[in-house]
Amino acid sequence: MLWLLRYPRPPYKCIHDQGGEFIGEAFQAKLATWGIHDGGTTSKNATANAICEQMHLTVANILRTRYNNAAPNFQVAVEEIKRALAACNHAMRCAVSTALMNNTPGETVFHCDMLLNIPVIVDLLSMQQKRQ
């Protein structure tokens, strides 16, 4: 839920896969506290599943390529994991998606380029029509 402190509240809902950390009571309580609707994906929502699966693949690839060896101690391991997840966040927000009509997820959600501080206009209606 750290992203709620860094970025604006999602306008509609929080979309997530059906992993235990997202359907658990603590996560659902946080969403309710912030007034955010729950939007779990299903096998019928191929686009949302593709984005979630790509996110998991990105995290796995970054962790696998950076950390082949065991960290010397717990504190170092925690810091390294934090750096790796920050790199994953950046990679995912800046990756162009054909499902989002060649926009990045960050541009679509925040209407701002993730590398340069410039506004981006995303045509959500034509994106929706393309999916139909």
pLDDT tens track for 3-12: 666 666 666 7
Q: What pLDDT score was predicted for residue 4?
A: 63
CA distances from 12 to 15, 19, 70, 132 (A): 9, 21, 41, 20
Per the model's pLDDT, the better-predicted residue between 93 and 61 turns out to be 61
Reported as a single tens digit per residue, the pLDDT across 67-78 is: 766 656 788 778
pLDDT at 15 over 80: no
Domain ranges within the chain, ordered by starting residue: 1-40, 47-95, 96-132
Q: What pLDDT score was predicted for residue 55?
A: 74
